[in-house]
Amino acid sequence: MLFSIYYSETAYNIMEIKTPSDLIIDFNHNGTIDTSEEVFLKDIKVQANPNDKLSKEEEFIFKELAKNYTEDLFFNKKARFKKSKLFINNKSYEELFNSSGYNYLTNTEKYDEIIKYIKANTFYVVNMHNYRVHKYSCKYSLKSDNYRLFKEEELPSKANYCKLCFSAAIKDNKTECFDNTVLGSGNIKIFYTDFTTKLKPDKNCETSVCKELLSRINDTKSTLDIAVYGYRSIPQIETALKNAIARGVKIRLVYDLDKKGESIYEDTKELVKIIPYSVSDYNSQQFIKNTYNNIIMHNKFFIFDDKTVFTGSANLSSSDMSGYNSNTVIVINSSDIAAIYKSEFEQMFNNKFHTQKNKLSNHSNIRVGNSTISVYFSPQDKITQSKILPLIRDAKKYIYIPAFLITDKWLADELILAHKRNVDVKIILDSLNARSKYSQIKNLRTAGIEVKAENYAGKLHAKTIIIDDEITIVGSMNFSKSGQNLNDENVLIIKDTKIAAGYREFFEYLWKKIDNWWLMYIPRAEGEDSIGSCSDGIDNNYDGFIDYEDAGCKNLRSSR
């Protein structure tokens, strides 16, 4: 690995970083490593606190992470010597390293975080010549001249396991998955998709949630009403819709178009061709004046035979239905719930969208089996202000939130107040949206709330809150002002201990799968930080570049 360095106005290459304090520099420009070119930086010290009594393996991991940190500092950066000190982009290497936490004497707080990170994770040594995976204790683990340390869940896809280390198939986090269906009272099913095990989208309709939708369409007898943000091709769903129409099912569709008459999804027009009874919010967009950006019809719900509702955060897209994105979907067998959704659908189908709709009545505290369900719609119900914030204020034990985004300051402020009264508040946010200038992640973290930014290829697309093993809030509405005040959205507030406890278990599973490192930092949505994002064929950060064309991926080294 080569790094450019400047000394006396002359550029040199660093031929090797043996340790953070031991560098080999090609002073004679011959492209080979000479012993006379080894430089020791006496002020750079990797030191663990002896009182921590780290094991030999933990000491090894600590030193390897310090070396990785140094490599990342120098990679693709200009550096130079000045008064016998090494500088990177005019910043002192000594000062940068001493602030990193790899010397407990110079930054105790970050040092403690690194030690917690080491103790909370499992690491393996990988021979980068043959991708053989070893435990540290294996006699072959450090034999290679090109080994690298990997966390268990970030092992290379081509990894193969040393038979001396692993007598049976390794039980790694990459193959671990969660039971993604929670049964409620018999009339309710909740699905949540595990994006930590699905690193590339497909159109195969093989997930439980997609199979459920497909089965419901195939079983529909007379009517099917669909409200979706847009459509990205899923061939089996298209075939099922065509077959339903052929057998006499009346299918109606409402969908979103922007002010230019365009859909966010490329196959929406094909869905409209299949379903002739279709209405978009385009005319409503033209009618509403003085709006910032774009108001959207953001629902994702289906009403089957006026008896069953399928709704939640999942769009009718290959990325959501394949489980590549993490979503929550609820299926409710209840004519009462279906009637409420039908009333909302009829307004939109008759060209009343957004602020033009009328507020519905009698849609709270509907009994469905052992559950009590309230249904709310944006923008008429002002859901966050009038429904969600009071529940946050009443929380006693915990509030767990897996969410695409939180930009609503009112919600963030109430979560901070809950944290101050010792309610356990934990949040997982989508990484791309966590980087938004509107995100409340900085305010929440500064207040002491634990907020993880996910680091997987897919989006954390859920919009869910779980409270005290009692209440589950699910729906299409992001926790933003536009979600509450402008868009067409639907939200369900469910009082059911079994459902809330089941979702809590899934949240805790996701929390464990996302490294504690991301309690402090925010990964790039496309890059080596986000697992699978450089090989999924998706433009994860919407910058026009995919996989290794993206700046976050193109500089990946072969050893990463």
| Catalytic residue positions, numbered | 461, 463, 468
Output the CA–CA distances (angstroms, integers) from residue 435 to 248, 338, 536, in the order listed: 48, 38, 21
Q: How far apart are CA 471 and CA 391, in angstroms?
A: 9
Range 386-392 contact pairs with CB under 8 angstroms and sequence separation of 24 or more: 387/491, 387/493, 388/465, 388/473, 388/493, 389/414, 391/465, 391/467, 391/471, 391/473, 391/493, 392/418, 392/465, 392/467
Strands of the 160-161 sheet, one edge to the other:
147-151, 123-127, 132-134, 160-161
User: What b/e string do you get for 310-339 counting C-beta neighbours within 10 Å, with b at 16 or more?
Assistant: bbbbbbbbbbbbbbbbbbbbbbbbbeebbb
Hunting for tokens 């005019």 — which residue is that? 90
Enumerate residues 6+ apart whose C-beta is below 8 A from 308. Answer: 216, 331, 332, 333, 334, 338
Q: How far apart are CA 496 and CA 400, in angstroms?
A: 16
Residue 277: which H helix or E strand, with range? strand 277-280
Helices 56-74 and 108-120, packing angle to 10 deg: 120
Q: What are the two backbone dihedrals, phi and then psi, of residue 487, each rounded to the nearest 5 degrees? A: -75, 160
Q: What are the two backbone dihedrals, phi and then psi, of residue 202, each rounded to the nearest 5 degrees? A: -150, 175
Angle at 377 between CA 375 and CA 383, to 5 degrees: 85
Asked whether the beta carbons of 164 and 127 are under 8 A apart, the reply is no
Q: What are the two backbone dihedrals, phi and then psi, of residue 286, each rounded to the nearest 5 degrees? A: -70, -30
Output the CA–CA distances (angstroms, integers) from residue 153 to 288, 428, 452, in the order listed: 49, 18, 17
Whether the bond between 156 and the residue before it is cis, its omega within 30 degrees of 0, is no
Q: How far apart are CA 302 and CA 296, in angstroms?
A: 18
Output the CA–CA distances (angstroms, integers) from residue 454 to 91, 116, 424, 440, in the order listed: 30, 19, 19, 15
3-state secondary structure string across 484-523: HHCCEEEEEEEECHHHHHHHHHHHHHHHHHCCHHHHCCCC
Report which of 280, 290, 264, 268 is spatially closest to residue 486, judged by C-alpha positions: 290
Angle at 273 between CA 272 and CA 277, to 5 degrees: 60
Q: How far apart are CA 328 and CA 344, in angstroms?
A: 21
Token reading at 470:
């009692």
Report which of 361, 362, 355 is spatially closest to residue 378, judged by C-alpha positions: 355
Enumerate residues 6+ apart whose C-beta is below 8 A from 86. Answer: 5, 41, 79, 80, 92, 93, 94
